[in-house]
Amino acid sequence: MAEGELFTNIQSWQAGELVLHHRLSVAWRGLTAYAPAEHHVFPCSTSNLPFLPITTLDGRGRPWTSILADKDGKPGFTAHSPCKTELEITAHLWEGDPLYHFNRDLSSKNEGRTPISGVGIELGARKSYRKFAGTLVELTRVGQAGVKLRLRVNQALRHCPKYMTIRDLMPHPEPEPIVTFSQLDLRGPLPDNVIAYIQDADTVFLGASYAPDMDTQAPLHVETNIRGGRSGFVRVSPSDGRTIFLPDFSGNRLITSIGNNEAASGMLLAALTIMSFATGDVLYVTGNARRLIGSEARTIMPQQNVVTALEATGVVLVRDALPIRERVGSVPFRSIYSPPVKLLAEELKVSSPSPQLKVGAQVRLVRVHVHSIDLATFEWELPPEHEGVCIQPGQAAVLDLAPFSDAPEYAQVAPELPRALHDDRVRTWTVSSAHTSLTRSFELTIRHKQGGLMSGALFLIAQHQHHKRQGTREDGCGDSREYGSLHAGLMGFAGAFVLPPPPSRRLLWAAGGVGITRFLAMLGTLSHSGEAADVVLVLSTRDPEVLFPLVRAALGATPPPGLHLRLDVFTTRPVQAQELMKYSTETEMDAPGLRVQIYSGRITTAHWTTVSHIEEREVFVCGPGTFEDAMVESLQSAGAKVGVVHRELFEL
């Protein structure tokens, strides 16, 4: 059976699936009424599967996705298929899991009619996984927390886990589950810690139910599926704090799960379960679902054509529940096909008194300054009819650069260039210029990413214009003007990694490489505003001669008297502080309030002991993920208040 091919003895697509096939222009797919041999043994009976997500309905008909596992987290917990259409499972549950509490609702009077579904997947290897659906024939409690289920399976699907994150999992016997939040009739916003938990996920399990009125060909049934992406791909509405938005990425186009939420009649319901393989925490969510397609989806999540919106009506969070953990020291391996994280429109903050300024407003490229072969600053300008935008120092601009390249065509996989497969040409780059009031222009300092589609396009333009106007100097430095009709769509300005308001003016900034760009805007704002501040900026870079002039320019020729900047530069290249001056446009190395020190090698924990009042400073860390992790750990060891450590944590 080919990837994405479906076995079912239900001889039709259900109504919602057909509706979505039409709306998304998907060709009709064939069905078979028998299960091939490979489906006779389901994934849960293999020796490598440590858990099994299944979806059932509670007494009110709401779907919940439970997690079945062995008590000690060992792979291959008891499960087998006595015949081609039945599956028996014996597993362990814990307090807080929906099936643990709701299995009494699945009483004998409902057995044989209660819909159930599951998905078996090995997170330790990116292999095709099996989904199955059918009805519950028998449910028996085994001891205090055990359960035995006998299922009659009428649908099975083998699917390609294109967006799955690979993890090295191992048993974690005897967890101690504690229900820390439970609202089965949620009417208000989710707690902040639950929202943060959701938005940190890179893997979720989606349950959906289809409840038709009189559709005898497609009876009541539920679906279970896996959704994956980069950490942060699931978003929560900031305005109501309870609506969860799940983007749907391009796949095999069967649309079996999301089709359940597009039925012409019946209730639109869905479930979401998120596991932390680091802590063992499990979050269960059920609620009312909406399917957003086309312009409706893009209004909510710009550049995303299909989105599931789940308004939570029931939520349970259980700490330390999962008897499985990531192996200590292992690093999750993200799928190369996962597209960049897309923020909600309401997260893309565009502030302006002009009511004409909308998300997607066109900005024009007006100037480029090339700092090195792979670093340049690009200046963009709004049209004259716009009064301007308000940009907080530290925020990033989100640009739609589709005009710079051809539109991509559909393909399920692209081994030669996987990153381009779902590339929507939207990029997020730091605003490096400082703005203390409304502005019609802003600067983005961008590093040319090797193989990067859009950064590559911008740098080709910069080099072409520079060589055309300034000659063919190898270093590529200089200004380029008059870029004519080169435009991009301004989606907004995003990020909470911003300069704190007074009186928080003892600051410690740690930057890794191009992570310095966030602090350029902050430093420039402090300098322009004339406010007093005590700033320690620790920079780790291989190119101090490139980045130091940017810091010096942001500080300005005559910093305000109350602004004191200590700049500690760590580099593996031999360089003296005075040597940096020949790269700077400023005339003095030791400007009032500026002290520069060059160190050889990497930033060490011992270095933080030289920072005065470190326990009082508000700390900001920006750089590659490994750099940020190392800095937070060393700062904590040195006595910094980790509770006030801000991390950039954007991978858009």
Report residue 590's pLDDT band, with 50, 70 and 90 as the boundaries: low
pLDDT value for 455? 82
Highest-confidence segment of 290-299, 359-368, 404-413, 438-447? 438-447
pLDDT of 606 higher than 90 = yes
pLDDT value for 187? 92
CATH annotation of 506-647: 3.40.50.80
pLDDT of 243 higher than 90 = yes
Rounded mean pLDDT, 565-581: 77
Highest-confidence segment of 42-51, 54-63, 252-261? 54-63
Hey, what CATH class is 347-411+419-494 in?
mainly beta
Sign of the Cα torsion 507, 512, 515, 521 reads positive
Write down the domain spans for the chain. Answer: 6-326, 347-411+419-494, 506-647
Q: What is the CA radius of gyration of the chain?
A: 28
pLDDT of 26 higher than 50 = no
Q: How many CB atoms lie within 10 A of CB 264?
A: 11
Is 532 or 10 the better-scoring residue by pLDDT?
532
Report residue 126's pLDDT band, with 50, 70 and 90 as the boundaries: low
pLDDT value for 576? 60
Of 285-299, 456-470, 496-510, give the lowest mean pLDDT range. 456-470
Name the packing angle between helices 544-555 and 516-529 (round to 10°).
20
Closest CA to 276 of 231, 209, 238: 231
Structure tokens, 53: 């997500």
pLDDT value for 394? 93
Is 484 or 54 the better-scoring residue by pLDDT?
54
Rounded mean pLDDT, 354-365: 65
pLDDT value for 104? 58
CB-CB contact of 197 with 281 (8 Å): yes
pLDDT of 56 higher than 60 = yes
Of 37-51, 238-252, 411-425, 525-539, give the lowest mean pLDDT range. 411-425
Q: How many CB atoms lie within 10 A of CB 394?
A: 24
pLDDT value for 28? 46
Q: Is the pTM of this model over 0.85?
A: no
pLDDT value for 531? 85
Distance CA 63, CA 57 (A): 4
CB-CB contact of 577 with 549 (8 Å): no
The mean pLDDT value of the chain amounts to: 79
pLDDT of 106 higher than 80 = no
Distance CA 51, CA 322 (A): 9
pLDDT value for 476? 44
pLDDT digits (tens, 9 = 90+) for 546-571: 999 999 999 988 888 899 999 999 99
pLDDT value for 14? 53
Beta strands in 448-593 (DSSP E): 478-481, 487-494, 506-512, 533-540, 563-571
Specify the residue for token string 């008909």: 61
Report residue 265's pLDDT band, with 50, 70 and 90 as the boundaries: very low
% of the chain exceeding 70 in pLDDT: 72
Distance CA 265, CA 593 (A): 69
Hey, what CATH class is 6-326 in?
mainly beta
Highest-confidence segment of 12-21, 307-316, 473-482, 546-555? 307-316
Closest CA to 89 of 113, 124, 60, 53: 53
129 by DSSP, 3-state: which? strand
pLDDT of 112 higher than 70 = no
Report residue 245's pLDDT band, with 50, 70 and 90 as the boundaries: very high
